[in-house]
Amino acid sequence: MERICLIASDGKGRIAPEIYGHFAEHLGGVFRGGLWVGEDSEVPNIRGFRRFVVEKFRAIRPPVLRYPGGCFAETYNWRDGIGPRAHRPKTLNWWYRDDRRVETNEVGTHEFVDFCRMTGAQPYLAGNLTSMTPLDLRKWMEYCDLPAGTTTLAAERAENGDSEPLGIRFWGIGNENWGGGGNMTPEMYAREYVRYATICHSANVNGARYVACGANGFDVAWTERFMRAFTEKRAPLWGLSFHYYCGGAGDPVAFTEAEWDTLVGRAAQMQELIERHKAAMLTFDPKREIKIVVDEWGCWHPDGSGPSRGYNLFEQQSTMRDAVIAALTLNIFNNNCDVVAMANVAQLCNNLHCLFLADGEYEIVTPTYHVFDLYKEHQGARHIHTAGASDKLSVSASEKNGVITVTMANLSFGEAREIELSSFDVPLGAQAVWTVLACEDPHAHNTFETPDAVTPGVPQTLPVREGKLTLTLPAAAVARLEIRL
């Protein structure tokens, strides 16, 4: 029996909604045939975006969506994606060498912001620091957000359909600048960051926040060296990101129990990563004014397991293993909400660790989608510490509007867990509602033929007796418990 205790007085503050963020890049089938089908398509759509995705995505209350890359951002010229669609150029993009598909630019700034408005996500644009100038990035900011009737670029935005500012809340300055984004040292990047952020800031009229490119996974030296160089000559900075893909282990669908343990173990390292980057930043930022942003995270299985069988670059199938890893990762973010201010799972559709798979008339949600749905009440809630979980059980808890939400993931491939939940200082109501996402087979996943193979069970009402609850969490499962105060 695992004994979990809720301790509100040890909570870490508010869980930033942006921890539940997403990422959509111009890459493979993310937009092409995935999110975007075009206005003339027979596939039901809203102004070109797949209606199924718009509606389902809106339902999980996405707080933020990062766009247009990823690597794509570092060769992207935003001017290619504005103006009448028929006149937009076909361009060579970052991924051309991998899949020989050119960029049609049918989706650009206005379409992306339209998608955000339809779904409720705040737009987060990743700027090109490697192959365009600081002035180009500043002009994109000016185009997006200078008030109507001010500059010529603001007038051009109005001609293109949006007289009012687009309201870009977050700007990334570069992407993976230790690699594809210019292959820089941390010192070189810090210098570039300061140049770009200084120039851009003079066009920042709506309080947009900047995110700097951080490390690749455990490269804590990048964080230290960037922070040291940045401290010498600063510019406005809200968050420092890092990317962490836990990779793959075995076949994305037909993995063994040992491969399950390997991948779940690697995903669990997110906790250590946060601690190590946090420690590296603290030396230079003792007041913790700079937040941690996990700009990209997720599983990265070998290509070819998705419905397009490899045609869409990086498209992969998602099983209960991916759902458990998503749940574990989101619990870690909740439990570190004092330092993690945003995180974006990569990527939204037909890609790595995605929430949607779609092709033509076929469209499904993955088990990972259901995790985001089960966890959505944590957004903006007050964190509650959970004590006592073993290393096979991942837990986090929060309170919002008089309701406690406890989310759990059973990290064991084959063993159910008996759990007793109690509280140290939160008065628990008489009943709780228990919703479980589980399948007998941990390899279970949704396909176009069986779209509901993995779907949450019917919520059950459970009694709270003498301030305690007894629960059974099946093997390889994710669950949510809701209790009124």
Phi (first) and psi of residue 228, to 5 degrees: -65, -50
Which of the residues 111, 142, 176, 377 is marked catalytic?
176
Q: Does 176 bind ligand AHR (CB under 6 A)?
A: yes
Report if residue 70 touches ligand AHR, rule: CB under 6 A.
yes
Provide the minimum distance between the beta carbon of 448 and ligand AHR in the complex, in angstroms, as a whole number: 23
Q: Is 175 in the site for ligand AHR (CB under 6 A)?
A: yes
**What single string gives the DSSP state of each residue in 409-454?**
EE--SS--EEEEEEESSS---SEEEEEEE--SSTT-B--SSSTTSS
The residues in 298-327 that bind ligand AHR, with binding defined as CB under 6 A, are: none
Q: Least distance (Å) from ligand AHR to the CB of residue 80?
A: 18
User: Among this protein's residues, is 192 annotated catalytic?
Assistant: no
- CA dist., res. 425 & res. 380, Å (int): 21
Shortest spacing between CB 210 and ligand AHR, in angstroms: 17
Residue 95 or 369 having the CB closest to ligand AHR: 95
Nearer to ligand AHR, 20 or 413 (CB): 20
Nearest CB to ligand AHR, comparing residues 15 and 30: 30
Comparing CB distances to ligand AHR, the nearer of 314 and 413 is 314
Neighbours of 49 (CB within 10 A): 24
Tell me the residue type at 181.
G
Which one among 18, 25, 111, 142 touches ligand AHR, defined by CB under 6 A? 25
CB 453 within 8 A of CB 440: no
Residue with tokens 């700034």: 109
Stretch that binds ligand AHR, among 162-170, 344-352, 360-368, 452-460 (CB under 6 A): 344-352
Catalytic residue among 296, 315, 377, 482: 296
Q: What is residue 105's three-state secondary structure?
A: coil
Distance in Å from the first CA to the final CA of the chain: 25
List 346's β-bridge partners, or say none: 23
What DSSP line would sit under 221-265, residue for residue?
A: HHHHHHHHHHHHS----SEEEEEEEEE--S-SSS--HHHHHHHHH
Annotated catalytic residue 224:
no
The residue among 291, 409, 299, 292 whose CA lies nearest residue 346 is: 299
Cβ 366 to ligand AHR shortest distance, Å:
16
Residue nearest to ligand AHR (CB): 70
Query: What count of other Cβ atoms lies within 10 Å of the Cβ of residue 86?
Result: 6
Q: Taking CB under 6 A as the criterion, which residues in 179-238 touch ligand AHR?
A: none
Runs of H (alpha helix) within 269-416:
270-282, 320-335, 367-375
**Under the criterion CB under 6 A, does residue 346 sit at the interface with ligand AHR?**
yes
Q: Rule CB under 6 A: say whether 103 interacts with ligand AHR.
A: no
Stretch that binds ligand AHR, among 67-75, 117-125, 259-267, 468-476 (CB under 6 A): 67-75
* Angle in degrees, CA 257, 263, 379, rounded to 5: 120
Q: Of these, 103, 162, 296, 359, which contacts ligand AHR (CB under 6 A)? A: 296
Pull the structure tokens for residue 318: 């998602």
Determine the interface stretch with ligand AHR among 49-57, 318-326, 345-353, 388-396 (rule: CB under 6 A): 345-353
**Shortest Cβ distance from residue 112 to ligand AHR (Å)?**
16
CB 348, min distance to ligand AHR, A: 11
Q: Is 173 in the site for ligand AHR (CB under 6 A)?
A: no
- Residue 142 within binding range of ligand AHR, rule CB under 6 A: no
Q: For ligand AHR, which is the closer residue by CB, 25 or 373?
A: 25
Distance CA 424, CA 402 (A): 17
CB of 28 to ligand AHR, least distance (A): 9
Total chain residues near ligand AHR (CB under 6 A): 10
- Taking the mean position of all CA atoms in its chain, how far away is CA 268? 17
Q: What SS3 class is residue 36?
A: strand
Site residues for ligand AHR per CB under 6 A: 25, 69-71, 175-176, 296, 346-347, 352
Catalytic site positions: 176, 296
